[in-house]
Amino acid sequence: MSFESLGLRTELLRAASENGYSTPTPIQTQAIPPILEGRDLMGGAQTGTGKTAGFTLPMLQRLIENKPQKGRRAIRALVLTPTRELAAQVTESVRTYGKYLPIRTTAVFGGVSINPQIKKLRDGVDVLVATPGRLLDHVSQNTIDLSKVEILVLDEADRMLDMGFIHDIRKVLALMPKQKQTLLFSATFSNEIKRLANDLLNNPELIEVAQRNTSAERVTQVVHPVDAKKKRKLLSKLIGSGNWKQVLVFARTKRNCDRLAQSLIKDGLDAAAIHGGKSQGARTKALAHFKSGKVRVLVATDIAARGLDISQLPHVVNYELPHVPEDYVHRIGRTGRAGHEGEAVSLVCIDEAKLLKDIERLIKIEIPRVVIENFEVDPTIKAQPITMGRQQQPRRGGNHQGRGQGANKPSQRRRSGSAKKQANGNKKKTSSSASLYKGSSKQAQSTDRSRHQHSPV
Ligand code: AMP
């Protein structure tokens, strides 16, 4: 199945292909034709399945092919999302896929000033992506007119209901024409969702992707708890002993990417870094060498890795967990693509326990923990806050940032002081490390892992 055969316009095909998409995902194959026909749709799918392109591509096509009503530019499509992050992400996708179409898209969500949003709305918008609360703020200020909406998308409807948005959603619905196309996506189908769907959808096409709670239905996920200062050694060991030929490694900052790539090269591995601080030429070269197999390990930041489509990428490593849980889904979505098996490994130190918890809450899965022999965590190490950017540069004595690359001495991570102080400190430390270990201790599937020792639950 190709994008062409789904009946999409060339402008959309070009944008999809430039974004690195060659084959539609199952949800796209199922969702695009009925949406193009103008049907309502109820989709069982979660982030990571490719659902955003699944509704955005045909939505844009319909907007272009159905002539807008004469007069001022009006909001013709509304996408409601539960979170700001998702709103921002969907907006970015609509802009990406609509790159060659004269469609204006903007997002409105809370937590930021309303005035720039008002200005954008005044300038005229075709597609609006919004969280329900801020949308209603605009409604109350008369800065939004929803009376011309032709297409409504409820993205992650179950999450919106979980977050208590049902009343807001119903208020928003009352402001739109009855006659419109409605697309509802949800990972789960509670009675409340079914009721909402019943009220909203008109003879909908029902689609569901086989395994709906991960991007990455074919991706084996595992967490290796490990102290920050041992991460680099563990990574080299995993690559070497597993004989991994092509591995994409994520770090949080440009600096960490560079340092890690250099350390891996010292370990004898062909590695390169790719991030926003590199010239386009250097990025293209690193990527080409990675694709051809000349470079075995590509170390990337989240931004640099967006849109990287490397077919059959077998291994993704989260050397550092992302701050935004959705980025985890994007990261692991780099593997297990187009029907190939993939493995996503996360090296998680105690500082990242909270990030891990947030990720698991998002993907609704407890990722199995597997401790690797000789890399057991030191329970006396206390969690440190994770800082980003400039602050992260190791200052005198070091701080969080460089630890992964061995910038800190282990002693700096330990508590000093009286025995009593030490004992008190340990109590606290144990409780934070306990949360890192909270996941299931399910055996990871790879045979190689059967040798590994499991972490306490
Ligand atoms: P989503 O479920 O919409 O959040 O998408 C998950 C990830 O899959 C995103 O990083 C998309 O860029 C990517 N993606 C979506 N459709 C395709 C496709 N047809 N081929 C490859 N990657 C895709």
Q: Whole-model pTM? A: 0.55
Quickly count: other Cβ atoms within 10 Å of residue 389's Cβ.
11
Would the CB of 213 count as within 6 Å of ligand 1? no
Task: With beta carbons less than 8 A apart as the criterion, state whether 314 and 243 touch.
Answer: no
Name which residue sits closest to atom 11 of ligand 1, judged by CA: 50
| Residue with CA closest to ligand 1 atom 22 | 21
CA distance 51 to 49: 5
Please work out whether the CB of residue 186 comes within 6 Å of at least one atom of ligand 1.
no
Compute, in angstroms, the gap from residue 44 CA to the centroid of ligand 1. Answer: 16
* CB of residue 278 inside a 6 A radius of ligand 1: no
Q: What is the Å distance from ligand 1's center to 53 Cα? A: 7
CA nearest ligand 1 atom 18, residue: 21
Determine which residue's CA is closest to atom 21 belonging to ligand 1. Answer: 21
The protein residue with its alpha carbon nearest to ligand 1, atom 6, reads 48
Residue 205 exposed, middle or buried by CB count within 10 Å (0-12, 13-18, 19+): middle
How far apart are alpha carbons 248 and 296 in whole angstroms?
9
Q: Output the pLDDT for position 24.
A: 94
Give the Å distance between the CA of 215 and the centre of ligand 1. Answer: 8
- List, for residues 413-455, the tens digit of each pLDDT value: 333 333 333 333 333 333 345 556 554 333 333 322 322 333 2
The Cα 289–Cα 1 span in angstroms is: 29
Q: To test the ligand 1 pocket, which listed residue (4, 18, 19) has its Cβ within 8 A of the most ligand atoms? A: 19
The per-residue pLDDT for 280 is 64
Type of residue found at 354: K
Residue 282 Cα to ligand 1 middle (Å):
25
Q: What pLDDT sits at residue 436? A: 62
Residue range 103-128, pLDDT digits in tens: 999 999 987 899 999 999 999 999 99
Instruction: Provide the total of helices (H) and of strands (E) in the chain, helices listed first.
Output: 17, 15
In the reported structure, the alpha carbon of residue 55 is separated from the centroid of ligand 1 by a whole-number distance in angstroms of 12
- Cβ 253 under 6 angstroms from ligand 1: no
Write down the H helix ranges in 201-269: 231-241, 254-266
Residue 52: CB within 6 Å of ligand 1?
A: yes
Distance CA 218, CA 209 (A): 13
pLDDT tens by residue, 369-381: 999 999 999 999 8
Ligand 1: distance of its center to the CA of 52 in Å? 7
Instruction: Write out the two tokens for 414.
Output: 């330990």
Greater model confidence, 63 or 336: 63
Q: What's the gap in Å between 48 CA and the centre of ligand 1?
A: 6
Query: Poorest-confidence range of 8-22, 35-49, 85-99, 215-229?
Result: 215-229
Q: Give the mean pLDDT of 202-207.
A: 92
CA of 120 from ligand 1 middle (Å) equals 28
413: left (phi over 0), alpha (psi -120 to 50) or beta: alpha
Q: Whose CA is nearest to atom 8 of ligand 1?
A: 50
Asked if residue 428 lies in contact with residue 349, where contact means CB atoms within 8 angstroms, the answer is: no
The pLDDT confidence band at residue 401, using thresholds 50, 70 and 90, is very low
Please work out whether the CB of residue 333 comes within 6 Å of at least one atom of ligand 1: yes
DSSP sequence for 386-442? ---GGGGS--TT--TGGGGGT-S-HHHHS--S-HHHHHHHHHHHHHHHHHHT-S--P
**pLDDT single digits (tens) 210-265:** 543 344 456 889 999 999 999 999 999 999 999 999 999 999 999 999 999 999 99
Distance CA 23, CA 3 (A): 6
> Could you tell me where the DSSP H helices lie in 246-310?
254-266, 280-292, 302-305
Average pLDDT over residues 186-207: 88
212 CB within 6 A, ligand 1:
no
Strand ranges inside 52-204, DSSP E: 77-80, 105-108, 127-130, 151-154, 181-186
Ligand 1 touching residue 75 (CB < 6 A):
no
**Residue 152, amino acid:** L
Q: Please, are residues 324 and 85 in contact by the beta-carbon 8 Å criterion?
A: yes
Q: Give the closest residue (by CA) to ligand 1 atom 10.
A: 330
Amino acid at 261: A
Is the pLDDT score of 298 beyond 90?
A: yes
The per-residue pLDDT for range 269-290, each reduced to its tens digit, is 999 998 878 876 787 788 889 9
| Domains 4-208 and 219-452 equal at CATH topology level | yes
Contact 45, 54 (CB under 8 A): yes
Residue 402 Cβ inside 6 Å of ligand 1? The answer reads no
Within 8 A by CB and 6+ apart from 421, the residues are 415
Query: Candidates 49, 59, 312: which one to mutate for ligand 1, based on the most atoms within 8 Å of Cβ?
Result: 49
- Whether ligand 1 lies within 6 angstroms of the CB of 26 is answered as no
Q: Is the CB of 50 under 6 A from ligand 1?
A: yes
Write out the H or E segment, with its range, that includes residue 326: helix 325-332
The finding on whether 270 has its CB within 6 A of some atom of ligand 1 is no
What is the distance between the terminal CA atoms of the chain, rounded to a whole angstrom? 44
The answer to whether residue 299 scores a pLDDT higher than 80 is: yes
Provide, rounded to the nearest whole percent, the portion of the chain with pLDDT above 90: 56
Give the torsion through C-alpha atoms of 387, 391, 397, 400, to 10 deg: 20
Can you give the residue ranges of every domain in the chain? Answer: 4-208, 219-452
Token representation of residue 239? 């690559």
Topology of domain 219-452, per CATH? Answer: Rossmann fold (3.40.50)
Give the range among 1-5, 26-30, 128-132 with minimum mean pLDDT: 1-5
Cβ of 24 below 6 Å from ligand 1:
yes
> What six digits make up the tokens of 160?
């919106």
**443 neighbors 368 (Cβ within 8 angstroms):** yes
What's 4-208's CATH class? Answer: alpha beta
CA-proximal residue: ligand 1, atom 19 (nearest): 24
Which residue bears the tokens 């209603």? 136
